[in-house]
């Protein structure tokens, strides 16, 4: 091949060529992208027959060739490490011999496809997958500042790089980026969803099971302890201290409810000033007092309670045995402690109230 040559004034006699450096306008280089204009400096760089980059010949028809330099473009078709094993050799052949130098030809810019764990944690080893991950220089992780990692393990085929997530990593602050000699590529990690702020429990939430705890007498009395029971039904024993009294009729509205079986003997407590019992409810609910219509005297603390009229065929009371009927009074209480007072302000022979909760 005949090359067009530009001659220096001090051109010397033909001799063995040598290369001292390869440079661009920015200075000496050790790597370049395909298509880059480079200047090969050395000695005896005349009578050039060929210049190859990784075995691919450059176009000398547009090259500027002189005794100590050759100005030309790296071939666009020159292979890079992305195409397979390469020598990174630049070879200049002249009539006087051959000269070699090293120049890394860069592959295309990297592309990132995926993280082995899209939501990695600090200290975890992850694999970043992509293309052209050759000549990796650093990996940057977002946080209150950019955390740069230079300790990593790239794969030989440029498809992945393994790295440990550094302390301070915060995916909400930006992308993870991989910087190579060819360029930079980024990938957006997934940000763990923040749990919804816990809302305070709705005290009236019907989905939350109603629970009664801490049921106790407040004065120093010796009556049988009241008991919390479930699933109120006809046929159940009404009182904890009597086995002869059962429910004969209960309106459907109250059946299946949580309820409190009281003690007949507690009717002897007639102190209106001080509460008789207390208990705790875990959520807001309606408390119903089933009050014996035959009670002597009156529980004045029920004056602001709503009298219920729910029932079938006009039967709005709960019936116990064949003689006792109980009117129902309702009041709403929020979660917390509920206090109930005496059955009456007078001594009675009729059975006392019991409690239903819904």
Whether the per-residue pLDDT at 5 is higher than 90: the answer is no
Is residue 345 within 8 Å of residue 269, measured between CB atoms? no
Does the pLDDT of residue 208 top 90, yes or no? no
State the Cα–Cα distance between residues 278 and 189, nearest whole angstrom: 55
pLDDT of 149 higher than 60: yes
Residue 86 exposed, middle or buried by CB count within 10 Å (0-12, 13-18, 19+):
middle
Q: Taking residues 178-188, what's their average pLDDT?
A: 96
Q: Hey, what are 294's tokens?
A: 């035959």
pLDDT class for 345, splitting at 50, 70, 90? confident
- What is the percentage of the chain residues whose pLDDT exceeds 90? 80
**pLDDT of 195 strictly over 70:** no
For 86-123, what is each residue's pLDDT tens digit?
A: 999 999 999 999 999 999 999 999 999 999 999 999 99
What are the chain's domains? 18-106 (2.60.40.10), 111-187 (2.60.40.10), 212-357 (no CATH)
What is the helix (H) or strand (E) element at residue 332, kind and residue range?
Answer: strand 324-333
* Model confidence pLDDT, tens digit, residues 219-268: 999 999 999 999 999 999 999 999 999 999 999 999 999 999 999 999 99
- DSSP, collapsed to helix, strand or coil, labels residue 27 as strand
Residue 298 has a pLDDT of 78
Mean pLDDT of the chain: 91
Q: How far is CA 109 from the centre of its chain?
A: 32
Taking alpha carbons only, the member of 59, 73, 66 closest to residue 44 is 66
Confidence of residue 296 (pLDDT cuts 50, 70, 90): confident
In this prediction, residue 113 carries a pLDDT of 96
Q: What is the largest CA-CA distance in the chain?
A: 139
pLDDT bracket for residue 3 (50, 70, 90): very low
pLDDT for residue 196 = 63
pLDDT band, very low/low/confident/very high, at 201 (cuts 50, 70, 90): low
Residue-wise pLDDT tens digits, 45-94: 999 999 999 999 999 999 999 999 999 999 999 999 999 999 999 999 99
For residue 246, what are the CA distances in angstroms to 10, 211, 328?
128, 24, 17
What is the C-alpha to C-alpha distance for residues 5 and 19, in angstroms, rounded to an integer? 17
């Amino acid at each position: 091949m005949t090359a067009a040559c530009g001659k220096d004034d001090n051109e010397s006699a033909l001799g063995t060529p040598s290369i001292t450096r390869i440079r661009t306008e920015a200075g000496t280089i050790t790597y370049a992208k395909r298509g880059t204009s480079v200047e090969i400096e050395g000695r005896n760089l005349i009578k050039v027959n060929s210049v190859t980059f990784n075995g691919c010949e450059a176009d000398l028809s547009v090259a500027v060739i002189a005794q100590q330099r050759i100005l030309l473009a790296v071939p666009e078709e020159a292979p890079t490490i992305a195409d397979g094993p390469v020598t990174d050799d630049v070879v200049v052949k002249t009539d006087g011999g051959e000269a070699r130098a090293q120049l890394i030809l860069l592959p295309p810019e990297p592309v990132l496809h995926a993280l082995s764990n899209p939501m990695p944690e600090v200290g975890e080893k992850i694999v970043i997958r992509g293309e052209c991950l050759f000549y990796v220089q650093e990996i940057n992780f977002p946080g209150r500042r950019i955390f740069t990692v230079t300790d990593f393990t790239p794969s030989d085929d440029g498809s992945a790089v393994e790295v440990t997530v550094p302390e301070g990593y915060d995916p909400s602050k930006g992308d993870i980026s991989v910087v190579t000699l060819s360029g930079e590529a980024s990938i957006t990690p997934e940000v763990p969803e923040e749990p919804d702020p816990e809302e305070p429990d709705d005290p009236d939430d019907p989905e939350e099971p109603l629970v009664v705890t801490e049921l106790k007498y407040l004065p120093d009395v010796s009556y049988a302890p009241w008991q919390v029971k479930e699933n109120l039904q006809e046929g159940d024993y009404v009182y904890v201290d009597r086995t002869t009294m059962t429910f004969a009729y209960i309106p459907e509205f109250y059946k299946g409810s949580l309820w409190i079986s009281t003690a007949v003997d507690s009717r002897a407590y007639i102190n209106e000033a001080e509460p008789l019992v207390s208990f705790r409810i875990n959520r807001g609910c309606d408390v119903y007092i089933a009050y014996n219509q035959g009670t002597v005297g009156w529980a004045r603390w029920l004056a602001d309670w709503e009298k219920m009229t729910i029932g079938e065929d006009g039967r709005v009371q709960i019936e116990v045995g064949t003689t006792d009927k109980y009117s129902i009074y309702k009041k709403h209480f929020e979660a917390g402690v509920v206090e109930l007072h005496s059955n009456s302000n007078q001594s009675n022979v009729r059975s006392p109230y019991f409690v239903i909760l819904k």
